[in-house]
């Protein structure tokens, strides 16, 4: 499903080249639940964004279902991302001036879904995450946990086959974090491929496969 072939990623930092990923080859099969751990700055988030078509490698290839993601034009990549990939961010990245309902409608709008179906789908998804009574609340009017649940509902709007979660519990209290991990586990059980970057060893254990990023290389945890 997802494959990295000899991927290298360098950053230029004040004139110095910093190599974050060094000839990484990795395969993540359909329906896998993979956790990626490693120290800060080890390139976990870089790896995740690269899998999501948001960051091109300096060298090597990123393949999704056998298709080289970065050989596509940017707009084609955006369409591919919309159809296949769902992101869960540590900071939730909700649009602050839209209500919970509207935030969930955004991916549907981008997919060209009509108003009525957008609303129906968004109401149903927010119901699944227990926020039926918060449809018209803006993110600032919701608790942190509720915000992450809105983000999860939004991620599911286009029914992605791949879920890329970046520290999904990093900003949450233990109980809410537990619920989010349960939710990701459910997604995996329903056949989705989940890749989760985390600092939390307990969260990492929930995955079926755990990887460690160290010195630019990916090794089994």
Partner 1 sequence: MRLGTIVRRELLERRTQVATSFLAILLGIAVIVSVKNITFYSEKAVSRELDALGANILILPKSVSVQDYYSADMQGAEFPEEYVTRLAMSDLEGLDNLSPKLSVPVEIQGKSFTLTGILPKQEFQAKAMWKGAGIFSRPQGCGVVAQVPGAADTPVTENLVRDRVIDTLGSSDALVGADVAGFLGIGAGAPLVLLGRTFSVVAVLPRTGTVDDSRIFAHLHTVQELAGKGPVLNAIEIVGCCSAISQGLVQKINRLLPEAEVVTITQIIDTQIKTNQTMRRLSTLFIVIIVVVGGVGIANYMFSNVFERRREIGTLMALGARSSFVMNVFLMKALVLGLAGGLGGYLLGTALAVTLGPRLAGIPVLPMPSLVAWAVGLSVVIALAGSYLPARRAARLDPFDTLQEV
98 contacts partner 1 (rule: CB under 8 A): yes
- For residues 71 and 86, give the distance between their C-alpha atoms in angstroms, rounded to a whole number: 20
Give, as ranges, the residues between 47 and 86 that touch partner 1 (CB under 8 A).
Answer: 48-49, 52, 54-55, 74-75, 78-79, 81-83
- For residues 65 and 88, give the distance between their C-alpha atoms in angstroms, rounded to a whole number: 21
CB of 177 to partner 1, least distance (A): 18
CB of 202 to partner 1, least distance (A): 22
CB of 85 to partner 1, least distance (A): 8
- For residues 144 and 150, give the distance between their C-alpha atoms in angstroms, rounded to a whole number: 10
In order of 82, 118, 159, the CA distances from 26 in angstroms are 23, 36, 25
Q: Which of 81, 61, 60 is nearest to 163 (CA)?
A: 81
158 contacts partner 1 (rule: CB under 8 A): yes
- Among the listed residues 24, 33, 100, 102, the single contact to partner 1 using CB under 8 A: 102
Please check whether residue 157 is in contact with residue 107, taking contact to mean a CB–CB distance below 8 angstroms.
yes
118 contacts partner 1 (rule: CB under 8 A): yes
CB of 178 to partner 1, least distance (A): 23
In order of 53, 90, 147, the CA distances from 172 in angstroms are 27, 9, 10
144 contacts partner 1 (rule: CB under 8 A): no
- For residues 193 and 209, give the distance between their C-alpha atoms in angstroms, rounded to a whole number: 12
Pick 10 or 175: Cβ nearer partner 1: 10
Residues that bind partner 1 (CB under 8 A): 45, 48-49, 52, 54-55, 74-75, 78-79, 81-83, 87, 89-91, 93-98, 102, 105-111, 115, 118-119, 154, 158, 166
């Amino acid at each position: 499903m997802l494959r990295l072939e000899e991927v290298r990623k360098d950053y230029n930092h004040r004139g110095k080249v910093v190599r974050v990923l060094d000839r990484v080859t990795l395969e993540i099969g359909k329906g896998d639940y993979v956790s990626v751990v490693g120290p800060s700055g080890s390139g976990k988030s870089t790896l995740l964004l690269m899998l999501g078509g948001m960051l091109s490698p300096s060298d090597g290839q990123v393949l999704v279902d056998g298709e080289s993601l970065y050989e596509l034009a940017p707009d084609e990549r955006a369409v591919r991302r919309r159809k296949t990939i769902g992101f869960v961010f540590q900071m939730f990245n909700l649009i602050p001036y839209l209500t919970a309902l509207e935030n969930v409608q955004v991916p549907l709008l981008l997919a060209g879904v009509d108003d009525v179906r957008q609303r129906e789908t968004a109401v149903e998804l927010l119901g699944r995450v227990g926020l039926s009574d918060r449809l018209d609340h803006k993110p600032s009017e919701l608790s942190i946990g509720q915000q992450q649940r809105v983000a999860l509902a939004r991620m599911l709007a286009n029914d992605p086959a791949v879920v890329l979660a970046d520290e999904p519990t990093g900003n949450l209290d233990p109980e809410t974090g537990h619920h989010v991990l349960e939710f990701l586990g459910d997604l995996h059980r329903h056949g989705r491929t989940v890749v989760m970057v985390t600092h939390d060893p307990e969260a990492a254990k929930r995955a079926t496969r755990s990887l460690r990023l160290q010195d630019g290389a990916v090794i089994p945890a």
